[in-house]
Structure 1
Amino acid sequence: MKERRPPRVLATPAALELIERLKRQYGDILFHQSGGCCDGSAPMCYPQGEFLIGDGDVLLGEIGGAPFYIGAAQFDYWKHTQLVIDVVPGQGGMFSLDNGSGQRFLTRSRLFSDEELARLAPA
């Protein structure tokens, strides 16, 4: 029996609920985690087609049916962790679709175990 690979990115039930609300309002969306100075640790949410994915961006997986990308430099730093996308009260990033919703996405993380690291799919 083939062992299941651990996902590199997950979303909490609260995050999945906000994702569904945003998809109903904006259509297909995507996430990008850059770690830049303007958005810090908050993943940014955009309508698909309105954010240009670069050659250096890494597709980590999907949350709520939305692709989740991370910048290559950030991926190199976070490749040993599982990202857990949650929501907290507050304002989202200026250009992120969660702005104005009263909630904002937040990235939490946990280290993969050695066993999980051995089973990870290449990103």
Structure 2
Amino acid sequence: MIKRLDVTDEAKKLIQELVEKHGELMFYQAGGCCEGTQPQCFEKGGFYPRMNDAMIGLAEGFEFWIDRDLFEYWKYAHFTLDVLDGFGPGGFSLETPLGKTFKVHYRLFTEEELNDLAPIVRSE
């Protein structure tokens, strides 16, 4: 199966740092408003996905959810979670006080990859 989500080494390091400070995590990528489409990192249970949002994979063992409408737009794309120095647009994410922001890089799946994609989970 082809994964829909990968994590860069820099993002893995930051996730580990956040786990040490906050415990279990979760990620949510909204479709607009305050956060734009920046992925947000919360303590597990600190944000509740809406009905029919999509969980596309795990970032270092933690659920990565996508807004249902945003997923429909990006369902043919692979996500790579990365981290940059600076502040994201929302400021609600756990990495913000560290002067970091999570970022997603996208690429379209190849036709071969589309035939073997890992399934998603939908919230109820």
Q: TM-score with structure 2 length normalisation?
A: 0.91
Matches of 1:68 and 1:59 in 2, distance apart?
Answer: 6
Deviation at 1:121, TM superposition (A): 2.6
Deviation at 1:103, TM superposition (A): 1.3
Quick one: which of 51, 71, 74 aligns to 2:47? 51
CA-based RMSD of the aligned residues comes to: 1.0
What's the counterpart of residue 38 of structure 2? 42
What's the counterpart of residue 13 of structure 1? 9
Matches of 2:108 and 2:71 in 1, distance apart?
Answer: 13
* 1:65-84 alignment runs, 5 A limit: 65-84=61-80
Give the letter for the 1:24 counterpart: E
Deviation at 1:100, TM superposition (A): 1.1
Tell me the secondary structure at the aligned position of residue 51 of structure 1. Answer: coil
Matches of 1:37 and 1:53 in 2, distance apart?
Answer: 15
1:86 aligns with 2:74: no
What's the counterpart of residue 117 of structure 2? 120
Give the letter for the 2:47 counterpart: F
Matches of 1:27 and 1:97 in 2, distance apart?
Answer: 11
Q: TM-score with structure 1 length normalisation?
A: 0.92
1:75-105 C-alpha deviation (Å, 9 max, x unpaired): 1000000011101110243211011112110
What's the counterpart of residue 108 of structure 2? 111
1:16-45 C-alpha deviation (Å, 9 max, x unpaired): 100000011000000001121211231000
Deviation at 1:53, TM superposition (A): 2.0
Give the letter for the 1:86 counterpart: D
Could you tell me which runs of 5 or more consecutive residues in structure 2 were left unpaired when the two chains were aligned.
Answer: none
Deviation at 1:8, TM superposition (A): 0.6
What's the counterpart of residue 95 of structure 2? 98
> Runs of at least 4 residues of structure 1 off by over 4 A?
none
Matches of 1:122 and 1:71 in 2, distance apart?
Answer: 16
Give the letter for the 1:122 counterpart: P
